[in-house]
């Protein structure tokens, strides 16, 4: 048995826990790092092997966004995920999906609960995001009301079924915290796009935990060379726009004129910001630019 087959056998059907009762597990996989390389080399023939090894080629492909070869590998996983989180997940319309049917079967008797220290306030700067955690006292009260609500909702659902109401109708008042399960089959190219978006710090914490588990527990051991390139060129890389580059050039020029060394002040950043941002009280593009320049040490952190 090869090391690759051994890795697949060890991973297949192993449930990696996510949240309180969710999981992801590998069902099947088609291909490996070599599948990406093989697909990339089909246009050039075997001679390419003398010029570029597998790792170098994979890194070149991902670095330069040559995505087609990554479509030649696929994975299929089974997930158990709360319905509200699944709504975000299923928006990635690049996979083959078969979900547990609450019209055909009784709904899974499990609902996601929130630990007292994980209740979060609404972000004031991001309408679709959260901010700081609530106090432990507030969290404990919310946990109590959450438990009571979930118990009541499940009792109502069960009572309807017992009275003969059709499953397709009884399910309509199930809360979004109810867990669902689905088979999810996706090619490697689209999976990396999913992971890039859902592992990002701006993604909701709950789906970020699922994406991180899939990436680190399943993709990394199955496609180690692809994962290495993904981390280097997508996961931990940075994209600069034309406007970002203009700000950097003006910062360096102004710094040289004033004999200043980076990190430059936020005041100087605001002075050399792009003309289209000036006059805007709130500007997400400007905030993103500043955050990137702070990350590379060109602008001082607050």
- Start-end of H helices in the chain: 3-11, 33-41, 54-63, 83-89, 136-162, 167-170, 188-198, 205-213, 220-222, 224-230, 242-257, 266-271, 284-295
Instruction: Encode 244-300 in three state secondary structure.
Output: HHHHHHHHHHHHHHCCCCCCECHHHHHHCCCCCCCCCCCCHHHHHHHHHHHHCCCEC
Element (H, E) at 80: strand 74-82
Per the CB < 8 A criterion, the answer to whether 81 and 248 are in contact is no
Structure tokens, 140 = 């404990």
- Residues composing the chain: 302
Per the CB < 8 A criterion, the answer to whether 240 and 221 are in contact is no
Per the CB < 8 A criterion, the answer to whether 37 and 69 are in contact is yes
Q: Which residues are the active-site residues?
A: 198
């Amino acid at each position: 048995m090869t090391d690759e087959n051994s890795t697949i056998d060890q991973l297949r059907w192993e449930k990696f826990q996510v949240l309180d009762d969710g999981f992801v597990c590998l069902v099947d996989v088609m291909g490996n790092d070599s599948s990406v390389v093989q697909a990339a080399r089909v246009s050039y023939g075997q001679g390419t092997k003398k010029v570029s090894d597998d790792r170098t080629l994979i890194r070149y492909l991902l670095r330069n966004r040559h995505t087609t070869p990554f479509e030649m590998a696929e994975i299929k996983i089974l997930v158990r995920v709360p319905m509200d989180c699944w709504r975000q997940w299923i928006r990635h319309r690049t996979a083959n999906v078969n979900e547990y049917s609450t019209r055909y079967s009784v709904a899974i008797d499990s609902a996601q609960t929130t630990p007292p220290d994980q209740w979060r306030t609404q972000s004031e700067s991001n309408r679709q995001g959260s901010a700081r955690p609530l106090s432990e006292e507030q969290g404990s009260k919310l946990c109590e009301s959450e438990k009571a609500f979930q118990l009541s909702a499940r009792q109502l659902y069960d009572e309807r079924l017992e009275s003969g109401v059709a499953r397709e109708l009884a399910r309509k008042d199930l809360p979004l915290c109810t867990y669902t399960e689905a088979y999810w089959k996706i090619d490697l190219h689209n999976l990396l796009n999913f992971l890039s978006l859902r592992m990002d710090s701006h993604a909701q914490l709950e789906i970020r935990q699922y994406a991180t588990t899939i990436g680190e527990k399943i993709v990394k051991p199955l496609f180690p060379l692809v994962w290495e390139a993904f981390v280097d060129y997508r996961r931990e890389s940075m994209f600069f726009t034309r406007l970002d580059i203009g700000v950097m050039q003006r910062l360096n020029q102004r710094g040289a004129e004033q004999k200043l060394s980076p990190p430059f002040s936020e005041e100087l950043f605001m002075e050399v910001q792009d003309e289209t941002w000036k006059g805007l009280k709130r500007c997400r593009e400007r905030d993103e630019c500043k955050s990137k320049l702070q990350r590379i040490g060109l602008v001082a952190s607050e």
